[in-house]
Chains A and B, each alone.
Chain A
Amino acid sequence: MELLYFGDKGWGDELFFATLMTIAVSITAMIIGFIFAALFTPLKLSNNKFLNSIGNAYTTVIRGVPELLVIYLFFFGGSGAIMFVASIFGYNDYIEINAFLTGSFSIGIISGAYSTEVFRGALQSIDKGQFEAAKVLGFDKYIYFFKIILPQMLRLAIPNLSNVWQITLKDTSLISVTGLVEIMRQSYIAAGSTRDPLFFYSFAAILYLMLTFLSMQLLNRLETKYSKGY
């Protein structure tokens, strides 16, 4: 237990901040994922064949390729791509992008593909009459989407979104390969310097279990809130 003391002697505070980092990356990735889902869900539902195939390509490729490979693409390719854009503007120095940004962006793209599928499914299972009724009654676009379609969509989407959250949370462990100090990386460092990998990796497992457990409790509450009236 001494290994978990806070301060210089133990790894307690380091692991605590690493856990916060994991939470921060997961939330950022989830939000980036929502942005991607907001862009690609309309494409997947569009009648235009070209737009439709773009949407399908995104979800198929990302969900069919290992997360680690996607992370390597952004880890090794990210700064290259940015430096290329910068060189167009005449900036030729080496640019290193923050591990946090690369990490949350690559996990965000992955989680976005899953969210897209969830939103598409939710939108498609809303009764057609709801769309028609809202149009017939002449609501303007804002009310049409935010007050009529979105609440119904969220009710159907939230149980599946909590699965996406679980996947995203667990995927953040893979960012440790890029050197971002989250739970896995911190455990790796601690295990290396104390030569006690069994303890630290088991402790990391407990931290992840705690995070999944607590977030499920919160999400279940959200679920009951949105299914009110059904």
Chain B
Amino acid sequence: MDIELMISSFPKLLNATLITLKLLSVSLFLGLFIGLGFAILRMNNNKLINKFAYGYSYIFRGTPLLVQIFIIYFGLGQIEYLRTTFLWVVLKEPYWCAIIAFSLNTGAYTSEILRSAFQTIKPGYLEAGRSLGIPSKIIFTKIQIPIAIKQSLPAYGNEIILMLKGTSLASTVTLMDLTGVAKYIISTTFKPVEVFIVAGGIYLFMTFIIHNVIKYLEKKYGFQT
């Protein structure tokens, strides 16, 4: 055990954790909107729209995240047309490519979580709202969404932790996130165990916090249906 290396690498890894957290929070934020959008499309009665939303979530859940990042980072740059548009400003940055891939990926999982949450809302709530003459838009924003959020909290907590682990793939497109820096230190010092303990400890600490925050929210917003 090389304790000195563990201590000296700790600040570097902690610094890289900031990038991991940035990637995580931005892609979760964007993914939530994508997920909500596709969950609404999934509940549409139009078969074509429904199929489209199902296809989206099927493709993104059926392929590895690594493939998705590679297609966006290496693949899209190949399309000449894209290089001339303003999109290229975004797509040439590995940071934004990673964010796009993560958001689309977590969006697919979130849409499934939200869809099942929406579908388990008792029809009685909606009927009660309708019989009180509340407009359907307000039923959606004030009744369906709050209940769906409460019901999907446990599953969404899992998704946040999966996404935290997913951000480690950013290191494959040259981003120096926690895993990227850990790999760099391992490959220069050849002390994998020590670095693994420190970096793994930081990840575990983050999962521990996320887990407890979700537990707290579940308790706070929990209700009996």
* A residues neighboring B (CB under 8 Å): 60-61, 63-69, 72-73, 75-77, 80, 166, 170-171, 173-174, 176-177, 184, 187-188, 191, 195-198, 201-202, 204-205, 208-209, 212-213
Q: How far is the CB of A196 from chain B (nearest CB, A)?
A: 7
Inter-chain CA distance A196–B76, complex, in Å, is 10
Closest partner residue, chain A, to B75 (CB atom): A198
What band does the interface of chain B fall in when counting residues whose beta carbon is under 8 Å from A? 35 or more
Minimum CB–CB distance from B201 to chain A (whole Å) comes to 9
Q: Does B148 contact A (CB under 8 A)?
A: no
Smallest Cβ-Cβ distance to B58: which chain A residue? A209
Q: How far does the Cβ of A114 sit from chain B's closest Cβ, in whole Å?
A: 12
Interface flags, B157-195, vs A, CB<8A=1, else 0: 000010011111101100000010011001100101100
Q: Give me 18 other A-B pairs in contact (C-beta within 8 A), A76-B192, A201-B71 excluded.
A: A60-B204, A61-B200, A64-B207, A64-B208, A77-B192, A80-B190, A171-B64, A173-B66, A173-B67, A174-B66, A197-B78, A198-B74, A198-B79, A205-B68, A205-B71, A208-B62, A208-B67, A212-B62
CA distance A191 to B68 in the complex (A): 15
The CA-CA distance from A64 to B200 in the complex, in Å, is: 8
Name the residue of chain B whose CB is nearest to the CB of A74.
Answer: B192
Contact A205 B203 (CB under 8 A): no
| Nearest CB in chain B: distance from A92 CB, A | 17
Q: How far is the CB of B163 from chain A (nearest CB, A)?
A: 11
Name the residue on B nearest A172 (C-beta).
Answer: B64
**Shortest Cβ distance from residue B113 to the other chain A in the assembled complex, whole angstroms:** 14
* Chain B residues numbered 56-82 whose CB sits less than 8 Å from any CB in chain A: 58-59, 62-68, 70-71, 74-79
Residues of chain A contacted by B187 (CB below 8 angstroms):
76
> Once the chains are docked, how many angstroms separate the CA of A212 from the CA of B57?
14
Complex-state Cα separation, A204 to B190, whole angstroms: 32
Contacts of B65 in A (CB 8 A): 170
- Decide: A61 and B190 in contact? CB cutoff 8 A: no
Cα–Cα, bound, A201→B101 (Å): 14
Asked whether any CB of chain A lies closer than 8 Å to the CB of B199, the reply is yes
| Min CB gap A60→B, angstroms | 7
Is B196 part of the contact surface with A, judged by Cβ < 8 Å?
Answer: yes
The complex places the Cα of A198 from the Cα of B71 at a distance, in Å, of: 6
Q: Indicate whether A73 sits within 8 Å of B192 (C-beta atoms), given known contacts A66-B179, A212-B62.
A: yes
* Among candidates B74, B182, B186, B204, residue contacting A64 with C-beta atoms closer than 8 Å: B204
Q: Is B59 a contact partner of A205 (Cβ separation < 8 A)?
A: yes
A159, B168: Cα distance in complex, Å: 28
Pairwise interchain contact B168-A66, C-beta atoms closer than 8 A: yes
Distance from A203 Cβ to chain B, minimum over Cβ atoms (Å):
10
Given contacts A173-B67, A205-B71, contact A72 B62 (CB under 8 A): no
Contact B63 A208 (CB under 8 A): yes
Closest chain A residue to B200, Cβ basis: A65
22 residue pairs from A and B, CB less than 8 Å apart: A64-B203, A66-B166, A68-B168, A68-B183, A69-B182, A72-B183, A73-B196, A75-B192, A77-B196, A170-B63, A170-B64, A184-B70, A197-B70, A197-B71, A197-B78, A198-B74, A201-B67, A204-B67, A205-B63, A208-B62, A209-B62, A209-B63
Q: Which residues of A contact B76 (CB under 8 A)?
A: 198
Known interface pairs A66-B203, A72-B182, A208-B64; A201-B168 also in contact (CB < 8 Å):
no
Bound complex: CA A73 to CA B79 (Å): 37
Contact of A184 among B64, B171, B196 (CB under 8 A): B64
Instruction: For B193, give its contact among A65, A77, A201, A212 (CB under 8 Å).
Output: A77
A76 touches B64 (CB 8 A): no
Q: Is the CB of B75 within 8 A of A67?
A: no
Q: Which residues of B contact A77 (CB under 8 A)?
A: 192-193, 196
